[in-house]
Amino acid sequence: MLSRLLQLSVLAPAVVARGIVWESSCLSEVTSLNSTLPIVCGSLAVPRDYTNNTSNETLVLPIYKIPVANGTTSKHSVLLNFGGPGNPGLSSFAANASALQLLLGGDHDVILVTPRGVGGNLDFSCSQTDAVATLHASWTTLNGNASNVAEGELWATTGLYADACKQSPGAANGDLIGTAFTARDFMQVVEALDEDGLIYYHGFSYGTVLGMTIAALFPDKIGGMVLDGNVNVYQYYRNSYVGQYLDTDKVFSLFCSTCIATPRLCALAHNQSSAELENDLLALFYKLKSHPLPVFFPDGLGGLADYTYITNQVNSALYEPTSWPGLSVLLAGLLAGNTTLVTEASLITTSNAGHDWLSGIRCGDNRVRVSEPSALNSNISATEAESPIFGSDAVSFYYTCAQWSFYAKGNFSWPPGAVRIRTASPVLLVGNLYDPVTPLVNAKSNSADLEGSVVLQNDGIGHTSVLSQASLCTARAIRAYWFNGTLPRPGTSCPVDVPAFSLDNGWETVWKELAKEVGETYYP
């Protein structure tokens, strides 16, 4: 297996990265984001197909940079990925520019590379109109436990979606957008930056899969790496969600208990215990299977507040505790049958942005294809056992990828656990004590594959440390790693500084305090 990884890393002589073309000014979509720090825009041509020795065909990667402050010399460039897969990340990059500079040591240029397959960049799209995109998304959003026929319906509709993608104009790119190729793109950027030849990388959520893939392919090129909100990379490359929902129900229970403890902010906090509230909400979810509520919106459109709707709303809100007060209003409206409250409090709306990108990258990355849904029953049962309510969300992902027509070129698969990767510099992995989608055990599992790596436990609730309650301890530890390479001691855990049920996650206060400690300026 290791020899196969090494073989992939030398598959084809890559086109030499001649240099990034930095623009004199950014396009309006960048300047309109009102970044807290200046952003420099650029681009780099990279090979379109790393497995084709005879082709000189390239694609152009959009690249964005937050330079170090005036008067400061950049030690290195740190490359970022905000997850997805298929999240361009530009809005997060701009909104958090000053915080990123502070977190990454204050002495690095911060680089965002738009991944291939995303947003016009070797774009993978299965639909040519918004209406078709909306239809496609509706085929894959049904919760697998929504009814006794939901799984059969999902198998059929996800098959329709996979077939639509196979016949779409984007099909020509379907095998070129995998994570292994993106990893090689990032190394092309490193070469073009012409620094010390090493990659310095910070990834969130799916960005941890990309980081682990980079570490496997280029272990001797790792100058520094932080992986926050870890996806189990072994399961990822096998179209498996087993283990992903281990802590989801715990986070839901924490929503209920912190709600009761914070009546000022929680519309559900009445004269009952947290266990009674949780039981009432679970009963509501099941009631919506057979008695969905019609909801009308001011634009004249409407929909059903049904089992799929509410599980999607709650699951999304569990990612970020600052959304919990709003979630409580939504749930209170549903319990009372008050559709006006439901309309006003809906936390997520139907969005098709990134839908094809996520499917194209994730499904192409694995080799699991089946002709009958029953072949997936074992994994689905294991996933639903972890979280009977929210684990069923994964059924659509299992079914979509199992019928996918494209296989990402490069033939990459994760090595067995017995093979430990020795990186040139040790990797820091960060995990929340309670993460609804990437449980802490994933960070420990990934760390077991990385020799010398350390897991930092952030005692917060939410998905990734930056969406959790703020922790000055965690911010200090990550900054210390980037500033001078200091790893926390194994077993280190960091307390959080604000309660879970709050409208303020506390990060603004932490950034200001950290800036004061290190003598830098933070621009909110």
The region of weakest confidence among 10-14, 275-279, 307-311 is 10-14
Residues 161, 188, single domain; the answer is: no
**Residue 523 domain-assigned (yes or no):** no
The region of weakest confidence among 118-132, 371-385, 466-480 is 118-132
Residue-level pLDDT at 354 = 66
Cis check: omega of the bond before 85, within 30 degrees of 0: yes
**Residue 410 domain-assigned (yes or no):** no
Residues 265, 382, single domain; the answer is: yes
| Highest averaged pLDDT of the listed ranges 118-132, 299-313, 410-424, 448-462 | 448-462
**Residue 412 domain-assigned (yes or no):** no
Residues 379, 482, single domain; the answer is: no
What average pLDDT score do residues 12-21 get? Answer: 62
Residues 392, 426, single domain; the answer is: no
**Residue 175 domain-assigned (yes or no):** no
Residues 344, 234, single domain; the answer is: no
Residues 385, 486, single domain; the answer is: no
**Residue 284 domain-assigned (yes or no):** yes
**Residue 205 domain-assigned (yes or no):** yes
Burial of 47 (0-12, 13-18, 19+ CB in 10 A): buried
Is the per-residue pLDDT at 6 higher than 80? no
Encode pLDDT of 463-502 as tens digits: 999 889 999 999 999 999 999 999 999 999 999 999 999 9
Residues 313, 200, single domain; the answer is: no
Distance CA 157, CA 47 (A): 35
Is the per-residue pLDDT at 14 higher than 80? no
Residue-level pLDDT at 299 = 65
**What are the structure tokens assigned to 113, written together?**
């590379």
**Residue 415 domain-assigned (yes or no):** no
Q: Please tell me which residue, 347 or 521, carries the higher pLDDT value.
A: 521
Encode pLDDT of 130-155 as tens digits: 778 778 877 888 889 888 899 999 99
Pairing of strands 108-113, 58-66: antiparallel
Residues 231, 253, single domain; the answer is: no
The region of weakest confidence among 241-255, 402-416, 423-437 is 402-416
What average pLDDT score do residues 337-346 get? Answer: 77
Is the per-residue pLDDT at 157 higher than 80? yes
Residues 99, 161, single domain; the answer is: no
Residues 40, 149, single domain; the answer is: no
Mean pLDDT computed over every residue of the chain:
90
Residue 261's domain comprises 126-167+247-365+370-403
Residues 160, 263, single domain; the answer is: yes
Residues 6+ apart with CB under 8 A from 96: 36, 466
CATH (domain of 79): 3.40.50.1820
Is the per-residue pLDDT at 392 higher than 70? yes
What average pLDDT score do residues 187-192 get? Answer: 97
CA neighbor of 228 nearest in space, from 200, 206, 251? 206
Q: What secondary structure, in 3-state letters, does 98-122 show?
A: HHHHHHCCCCEEEEEECCCCECCEC
What average pLDDT score do residues 9-24 get? Answer: 62
Q: Please tell me which residue, 199 or 69, carries the higher pLDDT value.
A: 199
Place of tokens 């301890």: 473
Number of compact structural domains in the chain: 2
Residue-level pLDDT at 472 = 98
Is the per-residue pLDDT at 127 higher than 90? no
Which pLDDT band, with edges at 50, 70 and 90, does 347 fall under?
Answer: low
Residue-level pLDDT at 4 = 34
Encode pLDDT of 244-266 as tens digits: 999 999 999 999 999 999 999 99
Residues 51, 21, single domain; the answer is: yes
Residue-level pLDDT at 191 = 97
Distance CA 424, CA 452 (A): 10
What average pLDDT score do residues 88-112 get? Answer: 93
What average pLDDT score do residues 46-55 get? Answer: 94
Encode pLDDT of 161-173 as tens digits: 999 999 998 899 9
Q: Please tell me which residue, 122 or 345, carries the higher pLDDT value.
A: 122
**Residue 290 domain-assigned (yes or no):** yes
